[in-house]
Amino acid sequence: MRVLVFRIVSILVLLGLSTVDVVAHAEPEPRRPVLVTLPEPSGTESIGVVDLHLVDTARRDPYEPAVPRELMVSIWYPAADVAGAAARSWMSPALVDIYAHSLARIAPGTAGRLRLEPSHGHIGAPAATSRGARPIIVFSPGMGMPRELSTAHVEDLASHGFVVVTMSHTYEASATEFPGGRVERSVLPQAPGPGEVEAQGTLAMTTRVADTRFVLDRLADIAAGRNPDARRQPLPANLAEALDLSKIGMFGHSLGGATAAQAMHDDRRIAAAANLDGRLWGSVVTEGLDRPFLLISRERSGRAEVPSWQQFWATAPGPRLNFMLDNAQHMSFCDTALIAAPLVTAGLIPSAAASQAVGTIDPHRSLAVQRDYLRSFFDTTLGRHHDLARLPSSLLHPEMVLIP
């Protein structure tokens, strides 16, 4: 556990997701902005999105006990019509500014130059219902990360007919933006002492699983015609009819992948889970899962090198698959890889630092492969297909190595 948390913190600092403010270096003379665009989703459906402010009045915030637990979530869904609906930002200007300034330690010229183009989701567009209710996939990001840093994965799943619900875990995420422009920053220490590491990881996991179960309850409210948004903003037309609560999956990156596994262990509503390069901990390690589970790991990080994976694999009675992505590193499994590449090209991040975090695999190729495997897994496990054993033979990308 201690090694895991220290490694996560060091990677977050390396790629600009430090959990505390950093002092920006002096800005050089303004130069051309570095524009980063999300790849096109590979599916055929238009995408709608709505951001919800949720308040759990039954739970005090474990990081800020004086207030109830607050979350920001986004629901991405197949849309019937996006005409006239504005595109949601990939990250808001406030979050981009926080992200860029936190890169000051290795890229002092990035602040003020990074520009992220909008996502492919359209705010408040009516949900598509011609094909009935859609399977739901919940997403949890890596430790210290906002939910927006896996937009490329999320919107692709929505373009293939899934409803995807993303969570920012407030006060752990580097920044969570609430309505009206309020931004809550992480309260975690940037360099926790030896006595703090275990407690920090345990608190994060416990909090995230509780967040997940709370969000599932709120989805049930929406399906029943109730509006859980704290502002009572109108929900997109037909959203309630688009939710199939009988088909729920979950995935996450890093600590989010561990969250997906433990949340599925604790909550029978989750039928399948996928973990993108996240070590496991909690009772799921020793008790396993009886439902389908997918693990995709980075290069040279097989089960023999990760004790929690090895122990889980030995005890889990349910169907499970493990792939390794060649030439990938830990941050290959989120949008950081897409953002790092243009910053390297612009000379703002040393290529060696970027390779250490995101590997040497082309980020667009890496994303395309990951999208295929995630979609095929959830297609198989959430009722569109039924034979998990067929999954490896149906996916022939040479970069993905099946670990028996």
Q: Tell me the mean pLDDT in the region 115-125.
A: 97
* Strand-by-strand arrangement of the 121-123 sheet: 121-123, 47-60, 68-78, 163-168, 134-140, 243-253, 272-276, 293-297, 320-325, 400-402
Q: What is the pLDDT of residue 188?
A: 87
Distance between CA atoms of residues 128 and 134, nearest Å: 9
CATH superfamily label, 2-402: Alpha/Beta hydrolase fold, catalytic domain (3.40.50.1820)
In this predicted structure, the answer to whether residue 24 has a pLDDT above a threshold of 70 is no
Higher pLDDT, 320 or 53: 53
Q: What is the pTM of this model?
A: 0.90
Q: What is the pLDDT of residue 388?
A: 55
The 3-class secondary structure across 282-297, one letter per residue, is: CHHHHHCCCCCEEEEE
Q: Tell me the mean pLDDT in the region 207-219.
A: 98
Q: What is the pLDDT of residue 199?
A: 80
Q: What is the pLDDT of residue 363?
A: 95
Q: Name the pLDDT band for 197 (thresholds 50, 70, 90).
A: confident
Q: What is the pLDDT of residue 390?
A: 57
Q: What is the pLDDT of residue 224?
A: 98
In this predicted structure, the answer to whether residue 326 has a pLDDT above a threshold of 80 is yes
Mean pLDDT score across all residues of the chain? 87
In this predicted structure, the answer to whether residue 7 has a pLDDT above a threshold of 50 is no
Q: What is the pLDDT of residue 6?
A: 33
Q: What is the pLDDT of residue 20?
A: 34
Q: What is the pLDDT of residue 383?
A: 75
Distance between CA atoms of residues 378 and 294, nearest Å: 10
Q: Picking from 81-95, 158-172, 209-223, 341-355, which range would have the lowest pLDDT averaged per residue?
A: 341-355
Q: What is the pLDDT of residue 387?
A: 56
Q: Which helix (H) or strand (E) covers residue 109, if one does?
A: none
Q: Tell me the mean pLDDT in the region 44-62.
A: 98
Q: Name the pLDDT band for 394 (thresholds 50, 70, 90).
A: low
Instruction: Name residues whose C-beta falls within 8 Å of residue 144's C-beta, 6 or more positions apart in sequence.
Output: 8, 9, 12, 17, 18, 19, 172, 173, 174, 186, 188
In angstroms, the first-to-last Cα distance of the chain is: 26
| pLDDT tens column, 242-266 | 999 999 999 999 999 999 999 999 9
Of the candidates 296, 293, 253, 301, the residue with the CA atom closest to the CA atom of residue 270: 293
Of the candidates 116, 115, 118, 117, the residue with the CA atom closest to the CA atom of residue 31: 115
Q: What is the pLDDT of residue 391?
A: 56
Kindly list the domain boundaries of the chain, sorted by start residue.
2-402
| pLDDT tens column, 67-88 | 999 999 999 999 999 999 999 9
Percentage of the chain beyond pLDDT 70 is 86
Q: What is the pLDDT of residue 15?
A: 40
Q: Name the pLDDT band for 190 (thresholds 50, 70, 90).
A: confident
